[in-house]
Structure 1
Amino acid sequence: MTPPPATQQQSAAPEVLARCRDLVRPALAQAVRRLHPWHAEMAAFSLGWSAADGSPAPGSQGKGLRQALTLLSAEAAGAPAENAVVGAVAVELIHVFSLLHDDIMDGDETRRQRATVWKAYGTGPAILAGDALFALAVQTLADSPGKYSATAVRHLAATLTDLVRGQADDLLFESRPWNGPQAVQPHEYRRMTEHKTGALLGCATGLGAVLAGAPAPTVDALTQAGRHLGMAFQAVDDLLGIWGDPEITGKPVHSDLRRLKKTYPVLSALATDQPAAQQLATLLATGNPLDATDIQHAAELIEEAGGRTATLTEAHHHLDNARHSLESVPLTPAALDEILTLLPFLIDRTR
């Protein structure tokens, strides 16, 4: 299978995402209206539909990558996209739930160039809204008509187990040292990423196949492709957390380094025998907050030790694995082409 040229894929990706968002938005809005009005307001704020005062905020919604993958996977498995809208809604609700809770645990005050939900509404309300979204996602699938709803719920439940396991590991990494035998290794970070980020994109693609009534090998292949896409997505997120443009990402420059967050570029740099890696370990191991000069120096050392290159290589490796998974089963060519259209978008995005 030869994918279309990258430039053609990049130009088509926004159209594919917009088509899928338009299909999902009415059902997602209907689901959000089932929440307590206060929770619905916070959900609308997080989704980019409204400002903190409840006024409309058109044009600020997210990319909708996960919901698009759910619909496209259903089409790739031979069913109409409409069959998987309920799955796309459930995945999006879980995604928003995870963002609300992650922002609290990470102490992030901004997302998409505006306040996070906990910063705008308070920590307690944001936790409760996240819980409500979690429950609504499960209920949405459980209440859906059709013979595949029970399988879809089991698929989502397995994802939730993976997601919270990955988040637990991510939090535990914070207390481990930067060097020595107890230091976090790149392979441990990769495993955490597969649980935390890979599982949700794998759920998106797998749910599309489940709701299309696809055979088990197709469900498994699409799930595995999604997991690899999630890991590629996280690798790029890690790059943006250090070198992203704050005007685009909405977060301070070098935001992950300011928080001394253990991400793949840092860990892969520390795992080398480069002199820059030793200097980086010494700089980070003090445990003290880094000032602007130290942060800039750390970013330079990470790049010099190969952390930036290693992370890009990691992202491309997972994209290749996703392609291999997609090639391993028969899929509808048009929908497969649209999934492939999104792959360069994962790597070349700026936020």
Structure 2
Amino acid sequence: MSMITENDVRYQIQAEMRAAFPVVEGRLSRFYAMQEYHLGWRNEDLTPTTADPGKLIRPQLVLLACAAAGGDPQQALPLAAGVQLLHDFSLIHDDIEDDSAMRRGRRTLWHIWGLAHGINAGDAMFVIAHLAIHRLSDRGLPAERVLTILRRFDEIILRICEGQYLDLSFEGDLSISPADYLTMIGGKTAALIAGAAELGARAAGATEETVTALADFGRAVGLAFQIEDDILGIWGAPEQTGKPFAADLYRRKVSLPVVHALSHSPDRERLAELYRQPVLGDDAVRQVLAILDAAGSRSFCAVIANEHHQAAFAALDRLYPPTATAAAARDRLRALAQSLIGRQY
């Protein structure tokens, strides 16, 4: 079967996500409708709608990696759905842990229905993500391969939880180093992106060399993606990011540019003093920006992001696609990584 086209891939991913949800009687329908609200399928009054589902980068990586490894991406659709549902589950709990009231321009699930419902809805989506992956058997994948994928899926989730633990532990800690920060995002952000590419290759029944190359590609893309996000969180244009200018500074977020300046700026003590204030006003943010600019923190982050992009391209160069379709998928993976370099949103 030919590779899924860009025109219908997003629709097919979301259709497979919907298929993973159980059919329930009326008393439970609201429970699943709250989860569908989080996914952008319903309004706050739980009537159907279509809202922005995000970039869907992770499930697209699953399908492209499967194709690049010589597999049929149609067979990997349940895996793509499971990976996206896992990501969305993590966002439900992230919003709770970060005390976030808004996501993608809409109120967060827990902010509408309360903390208890938010935790419970997230737990259910975690299980539905697994149920989606079990549907790989219905697509003809051997049971042993499905079991391997499920085991790796859980190991990847544990890495994400470890990264989240480090992120929570680092809150308010102005002594962390750039290496500490990169270790944290290696779990919190890069683990699932690496896992998406790895699991896509495993769904194809690829050799361990191919699996490792695609996992390395995903890990490098994930690290670069988060670092680019850190740059945009401070210097991104509001009309493109949809966020206020320097939003991460107003939130006193200790992202990589700030970590770099705290380690390298001669004004690190002043920066730490500003970040210890309970609220950063406009003047304080201007001072922080001046310190970051003088320390070259934006350039440092751009260089590190580019290094990871180059590592991603090098990982793809280790692939030897068995067919023209697989080669085309590899080229699309390269184009995806290229599109993230210097992105504006």
**TM-score, normalised to structure 2's length?**
0.89
The correspondence for 1:318, drawn from 299, 303, 308, is 308
The correspondence for 1:201, drawn from 184, 193, 196, is 193
Give, in angstroms, the shift of residue 206 of structure 1: 0.8
Map of 2:297 onto structure 1: 307
The amino acid that maps onto 1:188 is: D
Q: Secondary structure at the match of 1:167?
A: helix
Is 2:331 the partner of 1:337?
A: yes
Structure 2: distance between partners of 1:134 and 1:300: 43
| 1:192–1:92 CA distance, 2 compared to 1 (3 A) | same
Map of 1:164 onto structure 2: 161
Is 2:93 the partner of 1:101?
A: yes
Q: For structure 1, which runs of at least 5 residues remain unmatched after alignment?
A: 1-14
**TM-score, normalised to structure 1's length?**
0.87
Map of 2:274 onto structure 1: 283
Give, in angstroms, the shift of residue 96 of structure 1: 0.2
Instruction: Confirm or deny: 8 A CA contact 1:276 1:302 kept in the other structure.
Output: no
Q: Secondary structure at the match of 1:103?
A: helix
Q: Which stretches of structure 1, 4 residues or more, deviate above 4 A after TM superposition?
A: 15-18, 33-36
The correspondence for 1:297, drawn from 287, 307, 312, is 287
| 1:121–1:18 CA distance, 2 compared to 1 (3 A) | farther
Instruction: Confirm or deny: 8 A CA contact 1:71 1:208 kept in the other structure.
Output: yes
Match runs of 1:1-351 below 5 Å: 18-33=7-22, 36-58=28-50, 60-145=52-137, 146-147=141-142, 148-176=145-173, 178=174, 183-272=175-264, 274-284=265-275, 286-331=276-321, 332-351=326-345
Q: Deviations over 1:26-65 (max 9, x none)?
A: 1111113558533432332222222222233335222111
Instruction: Confirm or deny: 8 A CA contact 1:276 1:304 kept in the other structure.
Output: no
Q: For structure 2, which runs of at least 5 residues remain unmatched after alignment?
A: none
Instruction: Confirm or deny: 8 A CA contact 1:24 1:85 kept in the other structure.
Output: yes
When the two chains are superposed, the root-mean-square deviation of aligned CA atoms in Å is 2.1
Instruction: Confirm or deny: 8 A CA contact 2:149 2:202 kept in the other structure.
Output: yes
Which one is further off, 219-228 or 106-115?
106-115
| 1:280–1:108 CA distance, 2 compared to 1 (3 A) | same
Structure 1: distance between partners of 2:293 and 2:45: 42
| 1:39–1:197 CA distance, 2 compared to 1 (3 A) | farther
The amino acid that maps onto 2:207 is: P
The amino acid that maps onto 2:162 is: R
Give, in angstroms, the shift of residue 170 of structure 1: 0.3
The amino acid that maps onto 2:165 is: A
Work out the number of aligned pairs and report it.
Answer: 330
